[in-house]
């Protein structure tokens, strides 16, 4: 079974759970920026949570079904329609041969995730098909390129099960709640005033935002540490360069960094930030490591 891409805006890519165990080689993680929505889309069809999906950023995608099958859609509302009938995110649906699935412009959020039974098929490179353009790894053809017009997305089989997401199973991705931060090793090097402003002022998502990182605009943060040896950076790390404007590192980040860090966003906070359009205001809030781990365990438990 397959879908033909009739139109692509160069911001759609194949993403699975990511590439792990290879950062010592300088290879980054990749994978779905909003891992929560990706896992939810896979769960609806009974797939492994990290199965390959299409990450659709900002819409502008048209798909033609070449056979009948089932799909699932979660994440952002990109004004998706199936033969001009709206498709609401958070559900699975049947698509018949000759029907067109269209994605328009963002109504709520940035990234939508389209899942197929068993996951879309693509070459596995270093244990993953996650598309990382900067490294030339992954994707439909294994070369790190996004999906383009004329590509054929294939999958095998029928859904292992067709489920429905209950309201309590849908994490609040689109909310004004603060983004939780687990504090980092360099937190004591920031001035008291900077720490107060970091966690009590609003930050604006900058236009400079992609799968590598998102810059936040707000008060200038000052750090006494002038130099430091580069060290490994985790998903969600909040680096503060000399201009004092933090950068939150996402899935396609570099593997090491030499800027001091406030800490790192929790995994759920990373998923929420990945759905924020430029101009969105966000707030940061410190979180205890144990509380963040408990939140993550509860989130994962709802899918099992």
Task: Provide the pLDDT for residue 78.
Answer: 97
Task: Please compute the mean of the pLDDT values over residues 234-245 and round it to a whole number.
Answer: 96
- Tell the burial category of 6 from Cβ atoms under 10 Å away from its Cβ (0-12, 13-18, 19+): middle
Give, in order, the Cα–Cα distances in Å from 167 to each of 67, 75, 91, 242: 32, 14, 12, 43
- Alpha-carbon span 27 to 259, nearest angstrom: 20
Length of the chain: 304
**Average of per-residue pLDDT values in the chain:** 95
- Alpha-carbon span 85 to 8, nearest angstrom: 20
SS3 214: strand
Helices then strands, each counted (H, E), the chain: 4, 21
- Alpha-carbon span 237 to 148, nearest angstrom: 31
Task: Please compute the mean of the pLDDT values over residues 48-61 and round it to a whole number.
Answer: 97
To 5 degrees, how large is the angle CA 253–CA 303–CA 165? 105
The answer to whether residues 115 and 157 touch, using CB atoms and an 8 Å cutoff, is: no
**pLDDT tens readout for residues 80-99:** 999 999 999 999 999 999 99
Task: Provide the pLDDT for residue 52.
Answer: 98
**pLDDT tens readout for residues 114-142:** 999 999 999 999 999 999 999 999 999 99
């Amino acid at each position: 079974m397959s879908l033909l891409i009739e139109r692509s805006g160069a911001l759609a890519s194949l993403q699975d759970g990511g590439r792990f165990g290879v950062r010592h080689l300088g290879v980054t993680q990749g994978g779905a920026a909003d891992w929560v929505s990706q896992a939810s889309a896979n769960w609806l069809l009974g797939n492994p949570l990290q199965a390959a999906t299409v990450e659709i950023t900002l819409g502008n995608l048209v798909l033609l079904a070449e056979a009948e099958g089932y799909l699932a859609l979660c994440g952002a509302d990109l004004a998706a329609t199936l033969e001009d009938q709206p498709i609401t995110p958070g559900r699975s649906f049947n698509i018949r041969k000759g029907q067109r699935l269209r994605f328009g412009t963002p109504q709520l959020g940035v990234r939508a995730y389209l899942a197929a039974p068993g996951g879309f098929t693509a070459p596995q490179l270093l244990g993953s098909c996650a598309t990382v353009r900067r490294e030339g790894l992954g994707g439909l053809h294994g070369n790190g390129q996004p999906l383009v017009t004329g590509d054929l997305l294939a999958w095998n089989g029928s859904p292992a099960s067709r489920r429905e997401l209950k309201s309590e199973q849908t994490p609040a991705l689109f909310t004004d709640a603060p983004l939780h931060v687990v504090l980092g090793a360099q937190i004591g090097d920031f001035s008291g005033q900077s720490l107060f402003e970091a966690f009590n002022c609003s930050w604006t998502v900058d236009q400079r935002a992609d799968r590598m990182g998102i810059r936040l605009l707000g008060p200038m943060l000052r750090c006494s540490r002038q130099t430091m040896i580069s060290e490994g950076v985790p998903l969600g790390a909040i680096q503060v360069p000399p201009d004092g404007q933090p950068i939150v590192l996402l899935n396609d980040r570099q593997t090491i960094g030499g800027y001091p860090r406030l800490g790192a966003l929790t995994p759920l906070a990373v998923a929420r930030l990945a759905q924020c359009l430029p101009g969105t205001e966000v707030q940061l809030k410190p979180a205890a490591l144990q509380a963040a781990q408990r939140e993550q365990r509860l989130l994962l438990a709802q899918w099992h």
